[in-house]
Homo-oligomer: A and B are copies of this chain.
Amino acid sequence: MGPALMSSPEPAPPVGIVMGSDSDWPTMRAAAVALDEFGVRWEARVLSAHRTPRAMLDWAGAAAGRGVRVVVAGAGGAAHLPGMVASATVLPVIGVPVPLAHLDGMDSLLSIVQMPAGVPVATVSIGGARNAGLLAVRILAASDPALARAMERFQSGLAETVATKDAALAARAREDAAGG
């Protein structure tokens, strides 16, 4: 499941993952991992709303034409990247609030989710890059029956994991009770 990266001359992968700094990659990588699990190709870019505003708008403006169909954008603090990308494209943009050293991501969340009427950003939880990847899959699956079936299998797998944990807890709780 090799991702097509940004130097590819062929059509762009369907998901673009953008972030303001490579320091966001350890958080944002989980979106890429989720996409890989579904065999959905992606490209990852460092684009800064504040340091390279025009390059950021250029990338956003060209994305749909290049074949990108969903954008995942992560940013922290006064997090402007998701909203600015959304202003320059018709594609659905998923925003990931990246928590910084202070305020535990609350500033990131409010800066991303409280967009004015006209330009929506689909916001996920603080640090929730994995869910951003899964949301991108759901969006693509809305017009791709095979991907929709894969998501069904994934959700069944979540349920099975819960059943396994349920059984494991039974054993563990028995032991805790015996020993406690």
Contact = CB atoms under 8 A, between A and B. Distances in A.
Interface of A: 1-3, 5-7, 19-22, 25, 29, 32-33, 36, 44-55, 57, 64, 69-70, 76-80, 83-84, 86-88, 90-94, 99-107, 109-128, 130-132, 134-135, 138-143, 148, 151-152, 155, 158-159, 161-163, 165-166, 168-170, 172-174, 176-178, 180
Identical copies of this chain, number: 8
A32 B51 CA distance: 22
A128 B120 contact: yes
Interface centre among A50, A91, A141 (most CB of B within 10 A): A50
Nearest to A131: B120
A159 B51 contact: yes
A76 to B, nearest CB: 8
Interface centre among A3, A64, A120, A152 (most CB of B within 10 A): A120
Contacts of A109: 113
A115 B131 contact: yes
A135 B148 CA distance: 20
